[in-house]
Chains A and B, each alone.
Chain A
Amino acid sequence: MNEHANNPVDEPVDEPQDPLGAKLRAEFDELIKHYPEKQAVLIPALHRCQEDLGGWISPEVMEALAELLELEPVEVYGVASFYPMFHLRPVGKHVVGVCHNVSCDLRGAEDILERVCQVTGAAPGVDSADGRWTVARLECQGACTSAPMFDLDGVYHENLELDDVERILGAVESGNEPN
């Protein structure tokens, strides 16, 4: 099911894998100390899992978090599905979220989105055929005075002109991170 969490080849395949891994577990053990109740760690932990474990939250990860935080898996699912930032299905290698709220809309967000779709071959809800790109419409990202904008893999790109799109997306694809 979890095709994105590649197992290192040198590990024995018959051992049940810990979906979280020792590093994240150590982080979460530390985070738990910040709160009077373990459940408070859930949303920060989901973020860290999504960042480190292939860009999405698999059912296996939800079960492991449930066990760690003494919850039922269905509670973790209810929470994870509430928050738009969490992907509960695999995503492309790069995720572009284009803000389409009022301030961005007034300054050409739909044109930016169209260009993003052209450049990536993806569309909201449909990843690019090569699996490299996920494109999403986003609600207000708090970049209204620097509209229009998109978020590329967690980094804001603001004051966009149409011609910026290809350059920024091209740079991340060729491995040169844009600034």
Chain B
Amino acid sequence: MAQHETYLLDRLEHDDSHTLDRYSKTGGYRAIEKILKEGLTPEQVIDLVKRSGLRGRGGAGFPTGLKWSFMPDVAKDPRPRYIAVNADESEPGTCKDRVLMERDPHGVIEGILIAAYAMRVDTAYIYVRGEYRFAYDRLLGALAEAREQGWVGQHVLGTEFSIDIWMHKGAGAYICGEETGLMESLEGKRGHPRPKPPFPAGFGLWGQPTTVNNVETLFNVPFIIDRGPEWFAGMGSEKSKGNLLVGISGHVNTPGVFELPLGMSAKTILEEYAGGVWKGKELGAWIPGGSSTGFLPAHMIDLAMDHDSLKEAGSMLGTAAMIMLDEDACVVRAMEVMARFYDHESCGQCSQCREGTEWLHQIFGRIERGAGRLEDIELLTSLANGMAPGKTICALADAAAIPTHSIVKNFRHELEQHVEQGCCPKRRAPQLSGTTA
């Protein structure tokens, strides 16, 4: 196994990694202490994060320091301002934020403290998906400890810096992971993404300046402050710095969440970390970064796992949630499951998405059951082109269109086989498809 420097999951070797005691013993809250004691200005903190090259770990890969700098100048715009922590992890294949929240919640909290200091925010909400009860409870417990010790509350370390952090529970809607859907949901509404502009930095929670950051993104920040941006920028690839939590699931021997430098080849991850394809089989297809990033053929497994390499290959890094399909797995079936997911999760505002996700689901279901027509393949492409890119309020329609295009482009032969044989060639029997209750 290739050796590389690690930091994200180091603390997890201890069973009590979630406690303040362990956190403090392993360098915890050192970064916020440094900022407050050395009197770094918020602008200096943002500059450190910018120099580190940290990019958001929620899927879009936007530079974090730049995002923070979009918050309005507090002297000119004294409105209340907020941080919303996006802990609504729900992109299929993705379960890395859960690890951090359950096993190292103080790291998340310290990341929030630094972000709040840098953006002069005094109230943050952690929006945790409702199903993550254990992660929620761990964060709640950690917050109580942090409050007790004075890390969260009024006048942290006796300085002017004050911060409230509140837990907030979602209720099972994927779309609330979209940052404006999250804000609507946090306000107690249906999680309908908002048209942009206006952008959250000017008009976010309750119409006030707001920054939404992913859990893993914030988790990286204390390390950057503590060890310096140059240290951070020394890891990863040219345009994607630092280490990344990569989840690998599906048909592998040892699925799991691994800390890897950005830019490692997918093949290395599959073979050296996930123990290779299970049952001694060959790889059939794979998804690099969560369901929205689409299916790639086995021969592209050499790709480097970073933003730009995958973009060049017509895919995306997304949430770095790799899903592996063995040679006997049916990609059409996997696509049907995905299409069913987007059908279930479309918020229903935009016509193309509401109707299009259902339509794609119906067509893939029909093809998988052996009731497809050859013209359905062109129809799939045409529908996906009608849904995206950029034709709807948010990117959910895009997220359904991308895997659709990827199947037609990379696995057209399998679609044709289904149609010609009148059944799924890999599963033989006509399949019933479920709908999410």
Q: Is there direct touching of A and B in the complex, by C-beta distance under 8 Å?
A: yes
Residues on A with beta carbons closer than 8 Å to the beta carbon of B287: 102
A69 at the interface (CB under 8 A from B): yes
Bound Cα distance A93, B51 (Å): 54
In this complex, how many residues of chain A approach chain B with their Cβ under 8 Å: the count is: 49
Q: Looking at the assembled complex, report how far the CB atom of B116 sits from the nearest CB atom of chain A, in whole angstroms.
A: 15
Chain A interface, >50% SS class: mixed
Q: Which of A38, A101, A135, A147 contacts B341 (CB 8 A)?
A: A101
A111 at the interface (CB under 8 A from B): no
B437 at the interface (CB under 8 A from A): yes
Bound Cα distance A58, B174 (Å): 24
Give B contacts to A, CB under 8 Å.
Answer: 80, 89-95, 97-98, 129-134, 164, 166, 168-174, 185-191, 206, 247-251, 255-257, 287, 291, 321, 323, 325, 329, 333-334, 337-338, 341, 344-345, 347, 434-437
Bound Cα distance A1, B246 (Å): 49
As a 0/1 sequence over residues 137 to 176 of chain A, the CB contacts with chain B under 8 angstroms (1 = contact) are 1111111111100010011100000000000000000000
Is B345 within 8 A of A139, CB to CB?
A: yes
Is A145 within 8 A of B341, CB to CB?
A: no
Knowing A78-B190, A102-B291, A142-B131 touch, does A36 contact B80 (C-beta < 8 A)?
yes
Is B187 within 8 A of A39, CB to CB?
A: yes
CB-CB nearest 9 A-B residue pairs: A83-B171, A42-B188, A85-B172, A39-B188, A136-B437, A103-B249, A144-B249, A84-B172, A140-B92
Is A151 within 8 A of B434, CB to CB?
A: no
Residues on A with beta carbons closer than 8 Å to the beta carbon of B98: 142
Residues on A with beta carbons closer than 8 Å to the beta carbon of B170: 43, 83
**Quick one: closest B residue to A113, CB to CB?**
B434
Bound Cα distance A4, B331 (Å): 44
Is A147 within 8 A of B329, CB to CB?
A: no
A16 at the interface (CB under 8 A from B): no
Number of A-B contacts (CB under 8 A): 157
Is B166 within 8 A of A137, CB to CB?
A: no
Residues on B with beta carbons closer than 8 Å to the beta carbon of A69: 188
Q: Looking at the assembled complex, report how far the CB atom of B113 sits from the nearest CB atom of chain A, in whole angstroms.
A: 18
A8 at the interface (CB under 8 A from B): no
Knowing A79-B188, A101-B341 touch, does A106 contact B172 (C-beta < 8 A)?
no
**Quick one: closest B residue to A81, CB to CB?**
B190
Is B188 within 8 A of A84, CB to CB?
A: no
A60 at the interface (CB under 8 A from B): no
Q: Which of A44, A79, A125 contacts B190 (CB 8 A)?
A: A79
Is B334 within 8 A of A40, CB to CB?
A: no
**Quick one: closest A residue to B208, CB to CB?**
A36
Is A100 within 8 A of B325, CB to CB?
A: no
Bound Cα distance A125, B248 (Å): 32
**Quick one: closest B residue to A124, CB to CB?**
B437
Bound Cα distance A144, B347 (Å): 23
Residues on B with beta carbons closer than 8 Å to the beta carbon of A137: 434-437
Knowing A140-B91, A142-B129 touch, does A102 contact B185 (C-beta < 8 A)?
no
